[in-house]
Amino acid sequence: MDAAAAPIATRPAQTGRVARIEAAVPWVVLAAAAVALPLFDDSYAGVIAQRACIYWILCAGLNLVVGYAGQIAIGWVALLTLGAYTTAVLTAGTVMEPWHPYIALVASGVMGAAFGFIIGLPALRLRTFYFAMTTLGFSTIVTQVALAWKSVTGGGIGTPGPVFPWPFEPGWGFYYFCLLLAALATWMTANIASSRFGRGLVAIRDAEVAAEASGVAKGRLLMTVFLFSGALAGVAGGLFSSLQSYITPDAFTFDLSVLFFIAILIGGRGSILGPLLGTIILTVLPEFAAPLVAWSTFLYAALLLVIVLAIPGGIADLLDYKNRRPLEQHREIVTRPELLSRILKRQDGGGALELRGIELHFGGVRAIDGLDLEVRSGEVHGLIGPNGSGKTTALNVISGYYRPQAGQARLDGETLPFLEPHTRAGQRIARTFQTPRLIGGASVLENVMIGGTVEGRCSFTEAMLSLPRHHRDEAHLHEAAMTALATVGLEGLAAVRADRLQHSELRFMEIARALMVRPAFLLLDEPAAGLSAEEIRRLGALIKAISRSGTGVLLVEHHADLIFDICDRVTVLNLGKVLAAGTPAEIRAHREVVSAYLGA
């Protein structure tokens, strides 16, 4: 039987179904409780529930920004304010003919999206703390403008909120409206979260460098998410103005921003259910303990501190029993190079990846001082040299993270642009890293699926609305990732959280991720570091098989045996310059190489 056609274990599919049913249980319980609430005929509970729904609509969007993308946006109440005033002013008729509440609500969504985009722009260029500060400043500005622009917002006096018509009139009707929109928001954000966009966000948060190498376009993705989250926040604001029946600027306090932010962190980053529970808890809690009301913000802050110090993963972590099951102790990585034909398309040779005349310095340090390098398809090209000789830097130049002061990188004769590392995946150039870059909180499978980002066809909207193309994408990516994992021998660990893996397994996981790009050229940065002898042997066989499929491999390594075993050609660097280049036999005998690096 052809080894390449052998089926990969079917167990994951079975546990998949059970896992899906288990995952659905909390949602069913929540939905049932929410729909049944009016039966208890307690309008006070109704008001609190409406508030929870409204806050959740905003938090569902903010969850993508804070929980998934990891942006510290602590001034989000500004968008609630904008949405609330937009709806209220448009329906009050002070500035123009009164609009219908539903249309005003849509307008709020648009306003929210626009300002979400504006708030998000600094996130692309600024460090975390700076961005946090700008969101703070922005929320103060919005409140002050609301106060100052008396003719439109009513200034300090405020303006009445809209009353929605039947069947969503104030009371239980409006409750169902909020519940409906909250459910919609949950569904859409959950769809995004489980799509390549959600995975891309988490990748940007935890392993930005690897995300870029896999083709995740950070700028576009972040701005799309800010747009979407802003829209949700705007709609939440419109609903808020109706719940309050009358809005004044002093309703939009910094305490609210803190509440939203903390709800997400308590719930846990990278989860939908966790922040939902967090939002419900933080909305309902003050109502249970009247004397605690004055201390509520203090308690929220204390809770945040405890979470950050003790349970950074939040509620979601506590509920994640799956990842507390112990793993098999002595795991073996059994690579299956024969599966490569399913992943890599056979290529005809003739292509080349080259560096010509690269010069790169950081301040006074000359990292690369005139480098010419050529990797041909179908060959394994070793790159060796002492520490600090510029090997990893050379890889980084090819990847596009740096712009050298002189020189060019070319793929099949076409120049590769520098400082655009996210375009490399589209050019079918993939790489691994000296220290494994992983998303600790995601599963191994999800980590590998990141590699397939550029293969995705569906748009953000299609993912959000769970349209067929999104499902086709996901099925395809899932299958490809499982194949890649089987190739490197890790398919048994597909569902395990990546941060539970051993070091050597992480190295192979990176290779699987790189294979997802279907690379024409693969750059490996010390993949054998920390591996056992047997693992190195299997790694060597795998790399050889990859090159035989037509992929050109550039291998940076310190393990001389591995280099001389599998490389077709070797280049030696020293102090940023090429010391020698040729076949392994030539290099092994080269006097200067021996004295500078190899030793007798």
Partner 1 sequence: MSIKRREVLAGSAAVGAVALTSGLAAPAIAQNEPIKIGYLPALTGPSSSTGIGINRGTLMGVEMINASGGVNGRKIELIVRDTQSDPTKAVNAVAELTQRQKVAVIWGPLNSGEALAATPLIARDKVPMLHPCWVDSLINVQKYPMAFRNAPTNQQIGAAANHYVVDVLKLKKVAVISDTTGYGTASVEAYVPMLKAKGAEVVYSGHVDAANPDLKPELLRMRNAGAQAIMPWSVNAGFLSRILNTRGNMEWDVPVVGQTTLGSGQTKALLEKPEYWNKVYSNNFKKVCFGKDGKLPPAAEEFVARLRKEKVEMGDTLLWWIALGWDGSRMMAETFKAAGSKAGDIVGYWNKLKAWPGVYGTITFTPEQHNGFPDDEVVMCEVNSLKDGAFNLAPGYSS
Partner 2 sequence: MLESILSYGLAIGAVYALIGITYNVMFTASRVFSFTAGMLGMVGGVLGAWFITRLGLPVIVGFVLVLACGALIGVVTEIVTVRPVLKGIEQHLYVLSTLAFALMVQQFVAIEWGTEAQPFPRLLPIEDGWVDQQFVLPILACILTVVGLEVLYRHTLIGRAFRAIAEDSYAARALGLPEQRLRTASFALAGMIGTLAGFTGAMMLLAYFGNQAILSFYGFVPVALGGMGSHRGAVVGGLALGLFQQAANFLVGGIFAAVAVFVVFIIVLLLRPEGLAGAATARRV
Residues found near partner 1 in the complex (CB under 8 A) = 22, 25-26, 29, 33, 37, 40-48, 51, 144, 147-148, 150, 155-158, 160, 170, 243-248, 250-251, 253, 255-256, 277, 284, 286-288, 290, 293-294, 318-319, 321
In the complex, the residues that contact partner 2 under the rule CB under 8 A are 72, 74, 121-122, 125-130, 132-134, 136-138, 140-141, 144-145, 147-148, 209, 254, 258, 265, 294-295, 297-298, 300-302, 304-305, 308-309, 312, 362, 392, 396, 399, 401, 433, 440, 499
Q: How far is the CB of 294 from partner 1 (least distance, A)?
A: 5
Under 8 Å between Cβ of 3 and 338: yes
Which tokens in the block code for residue 458? Answer: 């569906």
- What's phi and psi for 184, nearest 5 deg? -60, -45
C-beta closer to partner 2: residue 155 or 584: 155
Looking at the Cβ atoms of 13 and 309, the one nearer to partner 2 is 309
Which partner, partner 2, partner 1, none, binds residue 40 by CB below 5 to 8 Å per kind?
partner 1
In the chain the first and final C-alpha atoms are separated, in Å, by: 47
Rounded to a whole number of angstroms, the minimum distance from the CB of residue 9 to partner 2 is: 31
How many angstroms from the chain centroid is the CA of residue 386? 35
Nearest to 135 by CA among 295, 260, 247: 260
Q: What's the rounded Cα separation, in Å, for the pair 43 and 29?
A: 21
Work out how close the CB of 476 gets to partner 1 at its nearest, in angstroms, rounded to a whole number: 32
* Calpha distance 551→429 (Å, rounded): 10
CB of 96 to partner 1, least distance (A): 21
Token pair 């945040």 in the structure block, residue: 304
Residue 4 has what DSSP assignment? Answer: G
529 binds, among partner 1, partner 2, none (CB under 5 to 8 A by kind): none
Task: Say which entry of partner 1, partner 2, none residue 243 contacts (CB below 5 to 8 A, set by partner kind).
Answer: partner 1
Considering beta carbons, is residue 43 or 466 the nearer one to partner 1? 43
Measure the CA–CA gap between 546 and 174, rounded to whole angstroms.
Answer: 60
Which of partner 2, partner 1, none sits in contact with 17, Cβ below 5 to 8 A by type? none
Q: How far is the CB of 138 from partner 2 (least distance, A)?
A: 7
Least separation in angstroms between CB 440 and partner 2: 7
The single residue listed with the structure tokens 């808890």 is 281
Select the binding partner of residue 20 from partner 1, partner 2, none (C-beta < 5 to 8 A, by kind): none
* Smallest separation (angstroms) from partner 1 to the CB of 178: 14
Strands, E, within 351-400: which ranges?
352-362, 365-376, 380-384
3-state secondary structure of 326: coil
**Separation CA 215–CA 471 (nearest Å):** 20
**Among partner 1, partner 2, none, partner that 15 touches (CB below 5 to 8 angstroms by kind):** none
DSSP class per residue in 110-159: HHHHHHHHHHHHHHHHS-HHHHHHHHHHHHHHHHHHHHH-HHHH-GGG-E
